[in-house]
Amino acid sequence: MKITLVYASAPRLVHETTLDAAPDGCTLGQALSAAGWLARFPEIQRDMLTVGVWGRQAEWEWVLCDGDRVEVVRGLRVDPKVARRERFVGQGARSTGLFANRRPGSKAGY
């Protein structure tokens, strides 16, 4: 089985490894251990980071299939909705959004 492992340990720093000879019936935890990531990145177990397969959350006992992509995901520092609201307040309502660039002589909103 061929399995790809991906982990972003810090912003703009992504680690990617491919296991070419994973045994059939390999679980997610076994794949991380076989790649040496549990020893290399102890925060994966210590901080209880979220692990998933193809963007969907999965348990450590999840049985992998050929071609699966295992992702180790850190938690968000800031809620995206709050960050967007703060950016919008800083920019002002008139200078952002869909109708920010108007043609000369056009009606508002067009």
Domain ranges within the chain, ordered by starting residue: 3-73
Q: What is the pLDDT of residue 69?
A: 92
CB-based contacts of 57-61 (< 8 A; 24+ apart in sequence): 58/28, 59/28, 60/27, 60/28, 60/29, 61/27, 61/28, 61/29
* Choice between 96 and 44, residue whose per-residue pLDDT is larger: 44
Q: What is the pLDDT of residue 13?
A: 87
Topology annotation, domain 3-73 = Ubiquitin-like (UB roll) (3.10.20)
Q: What is the pLDDT of residue 47?
A: 65
Full-model pTM: 0.65
**What rounded mean pLDDT belongs to the chain?**
80
**Residue 51 in this model has a pLDDT that exceeds 70:** yes
User: For 38-65, what is the mean pLDDT?
Assistant: 82
Closest CA to 8 of 49, 36, 45: 49
From the centroid of its chain, how far is CA 77?
A: 13
Output b/e per residue, 34-45; b: 16+ Cβ within 10 A: bbebeeebeebe
Q: pLDDT category, 95, cuts 50, 70, 90?
A: low
